[in-house]
């Protein structure tokens, strides 16, 4: 009886030892992976900060103005160039614009010409 | 003695029985103790597994400083942020061959000075910075040299992506990321607690501090004032755009400015923020305050007239008009002709006491303190005599921060609610709650009318961008040079608001010592330089701020005429 009990206990110790060891092993592995991901997140956050700063610096209003003037020929918006949406609505032709476009005319250009 | 001997004697065995029992009890007691201990451990184990306790241990904080929050403008554009950089250091005691180390280092990092390096490396100290904040390529190059005792630490560096656009309002930090100017200093002065309150406990995420500045408006203001300074060969300039309903400063510039990203921050006096840390005699712009006072006290009405035929003589002083009309002027005419005589008479009618009381009420006697640490006290006449009242009425003899002047006019135009301007985002309700009512709504209404009138037919007509209903007041003050008013050194300014039917935005433009040009027919007064500049600024910023243009039939006529003259050219 005692021998049998002892044998079972020894077996339990061995099995639980093995389970414990393998659990610890997987835990360590997971921890390593967590640390790796956290480092990765930190790096990503750093590069996000850097890219945000770069974006903000590249979209500086004075830089955009210079580029718009140089490459697009844009100038300051005049007050009279601003119109209400209802005013445009009155000048839209009755036929659908897509159809007119398919016919080869330039309906939106025509609206702008009419407004001027 | 053995057990068998005891057993042989039944009488003794009887005595033995309780002793045996005592031994068993002891074993039971020990067993119980062990059982309890195991149960406690097991219980705690289950407890911790099921309800893990939060980690409250003190941790080593890797950053030696509090993280600084990012600074963003009112639309979320990044104005200041931290990026990671490396700093090179050396431990001189670990360097084996100093000569070789110096040779290698100066070859890899060109801007290291050999002599300076030798001095640093031959000390008995165990630590010396070689170079702070180096680029990643440089860091790698030095690391690859593999000199023992030379290493790098990762540091954070404050960068200002918008460069000089934010210079004075955003401010800057020193090498140890301590705020020393502008809103950066404000963040520090609020204490570590405030800075940290913006930071989330997760460390890498900080809540940004949002300013009231609109960087697009700021850029337009800088651009136009820079052009004006060049055109009129002025020595300096400045501008402010404020939301008059909330007291938020949308843009504040002072030229010449600086780039907060530059390494050496040894700025000259010219580069300081003139809008808050300098005081100026704003000249006729202050007449707006005098008019508000006279109207609010009921001393003047729009139908009243003032005799401006002769100079006003007080003691030995004579007050004259710049654009002398030599006739009796009505109150609106006094405003549009910017008559010193009329305005002085108005102030004298109110009286010295009343004048002082009103100036105190609108806060012109005290230093205006906003979030910006740089602020100057108003410069007041030492003795408040009759003459002082007369001259102060048209802005001579007392000087204030331009921002303070703007704040007062904003308060007079928005219905009489004076509020301290702010550089942080604020909503209209909060602003209203802290506002002080200084004049009656009707006074504010009349003042709006005068401002608009001055832009349609008065001295500020060159700022009247058709469609945006601009109103404004001009000011040309002679500068005090060696204690006397100079005839050819002037400070030209314009203060205005738009759209005038319900004023929302206030604009102040200032040019220091503009010179006459052929285009201005030899004039160097505000109407010829500061006012057209203001017009150009309004034309650019009104669409950004969502002000809808409205045209009256007369406006359309004027526009058609303008187009014709343009075509002729």
Alpha-carbon separation of residue A80 from B264, B445, B457, B463 (angstroms): 47, 28, 21, 16
In angstroms, the CA B67 to CA B177 distance is: 9
DSSP labels, B343-402 = HHHHHHHH-HHHHHHHHHHTTTTS----SSS-----B--SS--HHHHHHHTTT-S-BB-H
Cβ neighbour number for residue B146 with a 10 Å cutoff: 8
Provide ipTM, 2 decimals.
0.76
Strand stretches in B208-347, DSSP E: 209-210, 236-243, 248-255, 305-307, 312-314, 317-319, 328-330
Residue with tokens 């040299």: B145
In angstroms, the CA B529 to CA B540 distance is: 17
Residue with tokens 């008479």: B345
Q: How far is B302 from chain A (nearest CA, A)?
A: 32
CB-based contact B161 A53, cutoff 8 Å? yes
Name the nearest CA neighbour of B239 among B248, B230, B250: B250
* CATH architecture label of B218-260+268-568: 3-Layer(aba) Sandwich (3.40)
Residue with tokens 């243009």: B549
Q: Which residues of chain B neighbour A60 with C-beta distances below 8 Å?
A: 161-163, 165, 215, 219
pLDDT of residue B249: 95
In angstroms, the CA B393 to CA B439 distance is: 17
Listed by start position, the domains of chain B span 86-156, 218-260+268-568
Whether the CB-CB separation of B368 and B403 falls below 8 Å is answered with yes
Q: Which residues of chain B neighbour A86 with C-beta distances below 8 Å?
A: none
Alpha-carbon separation of residue A29 from A22, A25, A33, A43 (angstroms): 11, 6, 6, 21
Name the nearest CA neighbour of B181 among B66, B82, B64, B265: B265
Return per-residue pLDDT of chain B as tens, 569 residues. Answer: 444 444 445 555 455 555 556 678 889 999 999 999 999 999 999 998 888 777 666 654 444 455 678 889 999 999 998 888 888 888 888 888 888 888 888 888 888 888 888 888 888 788 888 888 777 778 888 888 888 888 888 777 888 999 889 889 999 888 777 888 888 888 887 765 566 555 555 555 567 888 999 999 999 999 999 999 999 999 999 999 999 999 999 999 998 888 888 877 777 778 888 888 888 888 888 999 999 999 999 988 898 999 888 888 888 888 888 777 788 899 999 999 888 999 999 999 999 999 999 999 999 988 998 888 888 888 888 888 888 899 899 888 888 999 999 999 999 999 999 999 999 988 888 899 999 999 999 999 999 999 999 998 888 888 888 889 999 999 888 887 777 787 778 899 999 999 998 999 999 999 999 988 887 777 778 888 999 999 999 999 999 999 989 888 888 888 888 878 777 76
pLDDT of residue A65: 92
Q: Are strands B312-314 and B305-307 parallel, antiparallel or unpaired?
A: unpaired
Name the nearest CA neighbour of B469 among B550, B384, B569, B364: B550
Burial (Cβ within 10 Å: 0-12, 13-18, ≥19) of residue B199: middle
CB-based contact A79 B466, cutoff 8 Å? yes
Question: Catalytic one among B87, B167, B284, B493?
Answer: B284
In angstroms, the CA B363 to CA B417 distance is: 12
Whether the CB-CB separation of B254 and B274 falls below 8 Å is answered with yes
Q: How far is B223 from chain A (nearest CA, A)?
A: 8
pLDDT of residue B61: 46
pLDDT of residue B205: 57
Name the nearest CA neighbour of B464 among B539, B413, B529: B539
Q: Which residues of chain B neighbour A76 with C-beta distances below 8 Å?
A: 536, 539-540
Let me know if B316 is a catalytic residue.
Answer: no
B45/A contact by beta carbon, under 8 A:
no
In angstroms, the CA B540 to CA B475 distance is: 23
In angstroms, the CA B247 to CA B469 distance is: 21
| Helix pair angle (B402-413, B441-457), 10° resolution | 110
Cβ neighbour number for residue B550 with a 10 Å cutoff: 13
User: Which one of B81, B162, B536 has the shortest CB-CB distance to A52?
Assistant: B81
Average pLDDT over residues A2-19: 94
In angstroms, the CA B218 to CA B275 distance is: 14
Higher-pLDDT residue of A1 and B73 is B73
User: Cα angle at B216 between B525 and B198, to 5 degrees?
Assistant: 125
Residue-wise burial string across B4-30, b where 16 or more C-beta atoms lie within 10 A, e elsewhere: eeeeeeeeeeeeeeeeeeeeeeeeeee
DSSP-based helix, strand, coil % in chain A, nearest 5: 80, 0, 20
Of all residues in chain B, the one with the smallest CA distance to A75 is B540
CB-based contact B219 A56, cutoff 8 Å? no
The phi and psi torsions of B480 (rounded to 5 degrees) equal -85, 120
CB-based contact A57 B466, cutoff 8 Å? no
DSSP-based helix, strand, coil % in chain B, nearest 5: 45, 20, 35
CB-based contact A61 B466, cutoff 8 Å? no
Give the homologous superfamily in CATH for domain B86-156: Penicillin-binding protein 2a (Domain 2) (3.90.1310.10)
User: Cα angle at B35 between B29 and B39, to 5 degrees?
Assistant: 145
* Residues whose CB falls within 8 Å of the CB of residue A60, separated by 6 or more in sequence, listed in order: B161, B162, B163, B165, B215, B219
pLDDT of residue B6: 47
Q: Which run of H or E residues covers position B342?
A: helix B340-350
CB-based contact A50 B542, cutoff 8 Å? no
pLDDT of residue B200: 54
Helices (H), B158-301: 167-170, 182-189, 191-197, 215-231, 274-277, 287-296
In angstroms, the CA B353 to CA B363 distance is: 15
């Amino acid at each position: 009886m005692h021998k049998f009990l002892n044998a079972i206990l020894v077996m339990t110790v061995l099995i639980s030892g093995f389970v414990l060891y393998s659990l610890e092993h997987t835990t360590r592995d997971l921890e390593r992976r967590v640390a790796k991901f956290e480092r990765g997140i930190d790096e990503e956050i750093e590069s996000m900060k850097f890219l945000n700063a770069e974006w903000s610096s590249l979209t500086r209003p004075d830089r955009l103005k210079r580029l718009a003037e140089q490459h697009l020929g844009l100038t300051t918006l005049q007050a009279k160039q601003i119109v209400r949406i209802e005013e445009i609505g009155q000048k839209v032709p009755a036929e659908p614009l897509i159809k007119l476009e398919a016919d080869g005319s330039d309906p939106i250009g025509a609206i702008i010409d009419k407004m001027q | 003695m053995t057990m068998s001997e005891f057993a042989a004697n039944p009488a003794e065995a009887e005595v033995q029985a309780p002793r045996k029992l005592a031994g068993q009890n002891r074993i039971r007691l020990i067993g119980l103790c062990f059982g309890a201990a195991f149960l406690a451990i097991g219980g705690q184990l289950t407890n911790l597994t099921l309800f893990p306790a939060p980690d409250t241990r003190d941790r080593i904080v890797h950053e030696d400083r509090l993280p600084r929050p990012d600074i963003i403008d009112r639309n979320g554009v990044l104005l200041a942020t931290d990026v990671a950089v490396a700093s090179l250091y050396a431990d001189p005691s670990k360097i084996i061959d100093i000569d070789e180390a110096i040779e290698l280092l100066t070859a890899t990092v060109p801007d290291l000075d050999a002599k300076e390096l030798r001095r640093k490396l031959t000390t008995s100290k165990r630590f010396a910075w070689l170079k702070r904040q180096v680029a990643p390529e440089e860091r790698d190059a030095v690391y690859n040299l593999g000199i023992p005792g030379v290493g790098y630490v990762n540091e954070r560096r404050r960068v200002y992506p918008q460069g000089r656009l934010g210079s004075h309002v955003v401010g800057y930090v020193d090498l140890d990321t301590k705020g020393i100017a502008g809103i950066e200093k404000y963040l520090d002065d609020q204490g570590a607690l405030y800075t940290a309150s913006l930071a989330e406990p997760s460390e890498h995420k900080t809540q940004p501090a949002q300013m009231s500045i609109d960087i697009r408006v700021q850029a337009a203001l800088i651009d136009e004032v820079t052009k004006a300074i060049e055109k009129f060969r002025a020595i300096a300039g400045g501008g402010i755009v404020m939301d008059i309903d909330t007291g938020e400063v949308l843009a504040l510039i002072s030229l010449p400015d600086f780039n907060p990203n530059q390494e050496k921050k040894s700025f000259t006096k010219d580069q300081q923020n003139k809008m808050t840390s300098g005081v100026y005699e704003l000249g006729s712009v202050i007449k707006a305050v005098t008019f508000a006072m006279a109207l609010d006290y009921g001393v003047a009405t729009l139908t009243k007239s003032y005799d401006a035929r002769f100079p006003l003589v007080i003691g030995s002083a004579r007050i004259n008009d710049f654009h002398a009309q030599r006739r009796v002027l009505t109150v609106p005419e006094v405003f549009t002709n910017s008559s010193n005589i009329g305005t002085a008479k108005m102030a004298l009618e109110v009286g010295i006491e009343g004048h002082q009381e009103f100036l105190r009420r609108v806060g012109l006697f005290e230093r205006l303190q906003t979030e910006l640490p740089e602020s100057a006290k108003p410069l007041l006449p030492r003795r408040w005599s009759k003459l002082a009242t007369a001259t102060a009425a048209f802005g001579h003899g007392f000087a204030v921060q331009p921002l303070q002047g703007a704040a007062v006019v904003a308060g007079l135009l928005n219905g009489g609610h004076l509020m301290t301007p702010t550089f942080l985002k604020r909503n209209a309700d909060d602003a209203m709650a802290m506002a002080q009512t200084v004049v009656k709504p009707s006074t504010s209404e009349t003042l709006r009318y005068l401002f608009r009138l001055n832009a349609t037919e008065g001295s500020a007509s060159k700022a009247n961008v058709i469609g945006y209903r601009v109103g404004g007041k001009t000011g040309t003050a002679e500068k005090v040079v060696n204690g006397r008013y100079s005839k050819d050194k002037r400070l030209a300014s314009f203060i205005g608001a738009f759209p005038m039917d319900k004023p929302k935005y206030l604009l102040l433009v200032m040019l220091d010592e503009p010179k006459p040009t052929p285009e201005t027919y030899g004039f160097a007064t505000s109407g010829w330089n500061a006012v057209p500049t203001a017009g150009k600024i309004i034309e650019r910023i009104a669409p950004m701020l969502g002000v809808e243009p409205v045209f009256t039939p007369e406006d359309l006529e004027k526009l058609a005429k303008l187009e014709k003259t343009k075509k002729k050219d």
